[in-house]
Amino acid sequence: MTLTLEDCRARDAADPLRPLRDLFTLPAGLIYLDGNSLGPLPRATPARVAKAVEQEWGEGLIRSWNDAGWFELPRRVGDRIAGWIGAGAGEVVATDTTSVNLYKVLSAALSIQAQDAPARRVVLSERSNFPTDLYIAQALCEERGMVLQLLDDAGDLGAALTADVAVLLLTHVNYRTGAMHDMAAVTRQAHEAGALAIWDLAHSAGAVPVDLHGAGADFAVGCGYKYLNGGPGCPAFAWVHPRHADRFRQPLAGWWGHAAPFEFTPQYRPAPGIGRYLCGTQPVLSLVALDCGLDTLEAARPPGGMPALRAKSLALTDLFIALVEARCGDAGFTLVTPREHARRGSQVCLSRPAGSYAMVQALIARGVVGDFRGPNILRFGFTPLYIGFEDVWHAVDRLRQVLDTGEWQRPEFNRRQAVT
Amino acid sequence: MTLTLEDCRARDAADPLRPLRDLFTLPAGLIYLDGNSLGPLPRATPARVAKAVEQEWGEGLIRSWNDAGWFELPRRVGDRIAGWIGAGAGEVVATDTTSVNLYKVLSAALSIQAQDAPARRVVLSERSNFPTDLYIAQALCEERGMVLQLLDDAGDLGAALTADVAVLLLTHVNYRTGAMHDMAAVTRQAHEAGALAIWDLAHSAGAVPVDLHGAGADFAVGCGYKYLNGGPGCPAFAWVHPRHADRFRQPLAGWWGHAAPFEFTPQYRPAPGIGRYLCGTQPVLSLVALDCGLDTLEAARPPGGMPALRAKSLALTDLFIALVEARCGDAGFTLVTPREHARRGSQVCLSRPAGSYAMVQALIARGVVGDFRGPNILRFGFTPLYIGFEDVWHAVDRLRQVLDTGEWQRPEFNRRQAVT
């Protein structure tokens, strides 16, 4: 295990992914360990967005729906995402938000089960799932007369997958802990119990290997602005296994999901396949930025693609864990993220009985951007596209400084902001 | 009525709104009569979007959710829209798409009526309403066991507002015909019949006077990329009368509509008021562009605000109608848009038994951008912010040229594109 700054530098020098960091503009001196919340700006994005604004919108105007391919963007970008999640061409759309897409796919899953297995009345998830997933599930369960059952411990999944469960709704990599489910094993478990499996890939797409077809998953949604580097609030995505895609309308049956939207007929006729998971007109500028974000991932294909990204991600998180334990072992941190590689996403979370929020703020003041997740978690994301081994060394070094100086106890680091 | 080019020029010279056209970048020589589909690029937008991309995202990164006010954008931009539709501060959010917002407000309206008037099983609309409104209504009616009843003739509204009607769902200005409803009178009629009134303001906001509170309306949605000049696919908006805003969750209960989203609690607790009509993370770049679009409308306040815009819009559409009748009276056009000012939006539509599609294409080739709406409508939008009287003269002059040359009969003008 590398534990000196010199060793870290040597590992960066030997890293075939290292040149990819030049695809991003990162503020000088900043160590950005929050790409799991908002990926940084790709260097090519400003010019591409400016082209969309000035040429496509400014000069092409309405003609750009055809001439600049705006209308096809959700499917074209969706096809690009498909390659990173084990989905096929024509099976993914980039559109709307994760929450809205979750509503669509959970609606569809419930409609399927209402027909195939009407006695099943339970949607099963985890209490630690990202809240919006639970909120959307609560709303839909209320609407459909279903029950949302939340597990406190993922280990209880087997016992909880009873004959009552219609749908299992899980996030692949937990946003708070970084713990990762075995998608293939859990999906198999769900199917054996007669449930459909929906996966939220918000912290997975572009971050860890995902093979939706290999796992036999039923539905998936995910986020564009985290590891896909698509920019603040850019569209999310939805995937539906082809075996389900044509079975049901989803209730957000807007005109973009119509088989022939520009016939302007009063009767809805759903587009075949994933097309019906589109709804309204999409934010072109943000979709164009997402397209640029995907270019940065594509650039990782020659040096090894997802296996290389994953190997480096694990090396980075291993190093961070080892350095924290070696250098901050006295600070009362507990490692929240699983040590086992197969159960770890691309982030490391530490907890501490008190002071976690302030320590995150003090670290930010020292140029290490992670984030806080209540009640007591310091969260650090490690994106192998632009984070190096030396960055990890400095991040822990600055954490040591924050501890040594005690500066995290200053009042200014305890003032909560609207968005944490 | 002004009918010579010189008179048109004189009217432009005397027009206090004339300087506002310099707020836009319009391609040289182009007469853009399609701002009712996609508003043109405001001159200030490229720099503002570039700032959001390069500084706020590139340098501020995740901190910009607080520091650049990203998180507040949907409410802040919503407040700006409120001023153009007769809504109060804190009553509008700019978010998602018109279709998605319609789903939210129609859901809420149906929930209210399910409680207050459960015997009412009908959602009433017009067959000529914009299709996405009908598709969303169909989906929700199916889900809630309601019946969607479509009027062929708005004149039958009184008779159709029976004791069965729960919700009246109308678009204020018809997208195909430019015909405008009397919002106050129709809302009164709906209320007297015990129905709630939802208004789609896609072709109204920023285009015609709208007074939601004055009309006593219940819910409204609208579009940001038409007369609000917010750019391709920028977020739409939703308004709910305060008397209804706190009554129900809407089913798209995502985390942005939570009372305290960053507490990350597993139980949904709706934000008070319009806040609960937010759902997921919004596309910041497109929201920022919408904010710039609203600046162009704000610039019209000193020279008279909406009354001045409306007066000029009617003068422009009057002039267009008069010129078409004077110069193209032999061409077989029928005026589709009402002559009566009180019933006219900010567009003029002509129909013709045949050749309408090709004529629109031939006009575009001559630098007059309108659009075609099936089966036979030539549609021209007149936005007083940037369209002048001379533009109207040239538009009709070029239509005359298209007719005289017969060039619209060329095969290339009959080839249909994906987006018409």
pLDDT in tens, A366-380: 999 999 998 999 999
Q: B33 — contact with chain A (CB < 8 Å)?
A: no
Please give the pLDDT value at position A1: 55
Q: CB-based contacts of B96: which residues, under 8 Å, 6+ apart? A: A96, A97, A100, A280, B235, B236, B238, B252, B279, B280, B282
Please give the pLDDT value at position B420: 74
pLDDT tens-place string over residues B164-211: 999 999 999 999 999 999 999 999 999 999 999 999 999 999 999 999
Please give the pLDDT value at position B2: 59
B176: closest CA among B317, B372, B419?
B372
Whether B198 and B191 have beta carbons less than 8 Å apart is answered as no
Inter-CA distances, B259 with A133, B161, B241, B279, B394, Å: 16, 37, 19, 12, 54
Q: What is the pTM of this model?
A: 0.97
B233: closest CA among B287, B171, B189?
B287
Contacts of B53 in chain A (CB under 8 A): 41, 45-46, 49, 231, 289
Looking at chain A, which residue has its C-alpha nearest residue B229? A57
Distance CA A369, CA A381 (A): 9
Distance CA B152, CA A340 (A): 65
Task: Determine how β-strand A219-222 pairs with β-strand A236-240.
Answer: antiparallel
Measured over all CA atoms, what is the biggest interatomic distance in chain A, rounded to whole angstroms?
69
Please give the pLDDT value at position B250: 87
Q: How many CB atoms lie within 10 A of CB B353?
A: 10
Distance CA A238, CA A167 (A): 17
Phi/psi of residue B163, each to 5°? -70, -5
Mean pLDDT of chain A: 96
User: Does the beta-carbon distance from B58 to A65 stay under 8 Å?
Assistant: no
Q: Which of B281, B292, B371, B415 is the mutation pick for testing A, counting most A CBs within 10 A?
A: B281
- A32 strand-pairing partners: A369
Q: Which of B24, B32, B130, B227 is catalytic?
A: B130
pLDDT at residue A418 is higher than 80: no
Name which of A62, A136, A232 is nearest B254 (Cβ-Cβ): A136
pLDDT at residue A2 is higher than 70: no
Please give the pLDDT value at position B3: 85
Walk across the sheet containing A334-335 and list its strands. Answer: A334-335, A347-351, A377-381, A371-373
The Cα of B25 is separated from the nearest Cα of chain A by a number of Å equal to 6
Q: B118 — contact with chain A (CB < 8 Å)?
A: no
pLDDT tens-place string over residues A73-102: 999 999 999 999 999 999 999 999 999 999
Per cent of chain B over pLDDT 70 is 100
**What type of residue is A90?**
G
User: Does the beta-carbon distance from B419 to A97 stay under 8 Å?
Assistant: no
Query: A81 is written with which tokens?
Result: 């995402």
Please give the pLDDT value at position A328: 97
Q: How many CB atoms lie within 10 A of CB B7?
A: 15
Please give the pLDDT value at position A198: 98
Beta-strand (E) ranges in A207-251?
219-222, 236-240
Contacts of B105 in chain A (CB under 8 A): none
Phi/psi of residue B124, each to 5°? -105, 130
Inter-CA distances, A179 with A93, A170, B36, B405, Å: 27, 12, 49, 70
Looking at chain B, which residue has its C-alpha nearest residue A138? B268
Query: A320 is written with which tokens?
Result: 């961070």
Cα torsion through A49, A50, A54, A57, rounded to 10? 10
> Average of pLDDT values for A213-236?
98
- The backbone region for A181, taken as left when phi is positive above 0, alpha when psi lies in -120 to 50, beta otherwise, is beta
pLDDT at residue A420 is higher than 80: no
Name which of A50, A64, A139 is nearest B251 (Cβ-Cβ): A139
The Cα of A219 is separated from the nearest Cα of chain B by a number of Å equal to 18
Query: A90 is written with which tokens?
Result: 């024509």
A396: closest CA among A373, A372, A370?
A370
Per cent of chain B over pLDDT 90 is 96
Distance CA B366, CA B355 (A): 16
Distance CA A122, CA A190 (A): 13
Is B104 one of the catalytic residues? Answer: no
A82: closest CA among A225, A195, A212?
A212
* A41: exposed, middle or buried (Cβ count in 10 Å: 0-12, 13-18, 19+): buried
Only one residue has tokens 């650049």, namely: B68
User: For chain A, first and last CA: distance in Å?
Assistant: 33
Inter-CA distances, B261 with A224, A359, B76, B281, Å: 20, 22, 18, 11
Distance CA B340, CA B323 (A): 17
The Cα of A414 is separated from the nearest Cα of chain B by a number of Å equal to 15
Q: Which of A135, A360, A371 is the mutation pick for testing B, counting most B CBs within 10 A?
A: A135
pLDDT tens-place string over residues B221-246: 999 999 999 999 999 999 999 999 99
- A368 strand-pairing partners: A31
Mean pLDDT of chain B: 96
> Average of pLDDT values for A133-145?
97
Contacts of A364 in chain B (CB under 8 A): 63
**What type of residue is B347?**
Q
Whether B104 and B252 have beta carbons less than 8 Å apart is answered as yes
Q: B100 — contact with chain A (CB < 8 Å)?
A: yes
B359-386 burial string, b = 16+ CB within 10 Å, else e?
bbbbbbebebbbbbbeebbbbbbbbbbb
Name which of B61, B131, B280 is nearest A98 (Cβ-Cβ): B280
**What type of residue is A170?**
L
Contacts of B420 in chain A (CB under 8 A): 262
Query: B268 is written with which tokens?
Result: 């949904």
Name which of B46, B131, B258 is nearest A53 (Cβ-Cβ): B46
User: For chain B, first and last CA: distance in Å?
Assistant: 33
Looking at chain A, which residue has its C-alpha nearest residue B369? A62
Could you give the angle at the alpha carbon of A90 between the alpha carbons of A87 and A96, nearest 5°? 85
Contacts of B225 in chain A (CB under 8 A): 281
User: Does the beta-carbon distance from B134 to A280 stay under 8 Å?
Assistant: no
Q: A138 — contact with chain B (CB < 8 Å)?
A: yes
Sign of CA dihedral B230, B235, B241, B242: negative
The secondary structure of residue A271, as a DSSP letter, is: P
- Please name the residues between 142 and 171 in chain A that touch chain B, using a CB distance below 8 Å: 143, 150
Contacts of A108 in chain B (CB under 8 A): none
pLDDT tens-place string over residues A383-411: 999 999 999 999 999 999 999 999 999 99
Only one residue has tokens 């809302």, namely: B187
* A352: exposed, middle or buried (Cβ count in 10 Å: 0-12, 13-18, 19+): middle
Is A366 one of the catalytic residues? Answer: no
> Average of pLDDT values for B117-125?
98
The Cα of A293 is separated from the nearest Cα of chain B by a number of Å equal to 13
Q: How many CB atoms lie within 10 A of CB A267?
A: 11
Helix (H) or strand (E) holding A132: helix A131-144
> Average of pLDDT values for B128-153?
96
> Average of pLDDT values for A25-34?
97
Q: CB-based contacts of B36: which residues, under 8 Å, 6+ apart? A: B175, B203, B207, B226, B227, B346, B347, B379, B381, B383
Contacts of A252 in chain B (CB under 8 A): 99-100, 103, 136, 139
pLDDT tens-place string over residues A161-212: 999 999 999 999 999 999 999 999 999 999 999 999 999 999 999 999 999 9
Whether B232 and B207 have beta carbons less than 8 Å apart is answered as no
Name which of A46, A59, A234 is nearest B27 (Cβ-Cβ): A59
Name which of A235, A262, A263 is nearest B283 (Cβ-Cβ): A235
> Within chain A, how many helices (H) and strands (E) appear?
14, 15
Packing angle of the helix pair A305-327, A389-405 (nearest 10 deg): 30
Distance CA B404, CA B331 (A): 10
pLDDT band at B417 (very low <50, low <70, confident <90, very high): confident
**What type of residue is A178?**
G
Per cent of chain A over pLDDT 70 is 100
The Cα of A8 is separated from the nearest Cα of chain B by a number of Å equal to 26
Whether A140 and A149 have beta carbons less than 8 Å apart is answered as no
Query: A34 is written with which tokens?
Result: 């929050």
Please give the pLDDT value at position A3: 85
pLDDT band at B1 (very low <50, low <70, confident <90, very high): low
Distance CA A389, CA B159 (A): 74
Cβ pairs A/B, distance under 8 A: 286
User: Does the beta-carbon distance from A373 to B264 stay under 8 Å?
Assistant: yes
B173: closest CA among B290, B31, B348?
B348
Name which of B53, B263, B374 is nearest A41 (Cβ-Cβ): B53
Whether B73 and B192 have beta carbons less than 8 Å apart is answered as no
The Cα of A285 is separated from the nearest Cα of chain B by a number of Å equal to 6
- The 3-state secondary structure of chain B reads CCCCHHHHHHHHHCCCCHHHHHHEECCCCCEECCCCCCCCEECCHHHHHHHHHHHHHHHHHHHHHHHCCHHHHHHHHHHHHHCCCCCCCCCEEECCCHHHHHHHHHHHHHHHHHHHCCCCCEEEEECCCCHHHHHHHHHHHHHHCCEEEEECCHHHHHHHCCCCEEEEEEECECCCCCEECCHHHHHHHHHHCCCEEEEECCCCCCCCCCCHHHHCCCEEEECCCCCCCCCCCCCCEEEECHHHHCCCCCCCCCHHHECCHHHCCCCCCECCHHHHHCCCCCCHHHHHHHHHHHHHHHCCCCCCHHHHHHHHHHHHHHHHHHHHHHHCCCCCCEECCCCCHHHECCEEEEECCCCHHHHHHHHHHCCEECEEECCCEEEEECCCCCCCHHHHHHHHHHHHHHHHHCHHHCHHHHCCCCCC
Task: Determine how β-strand A347-351 pairs with β-strand A334-335.
Answer: antiparallel
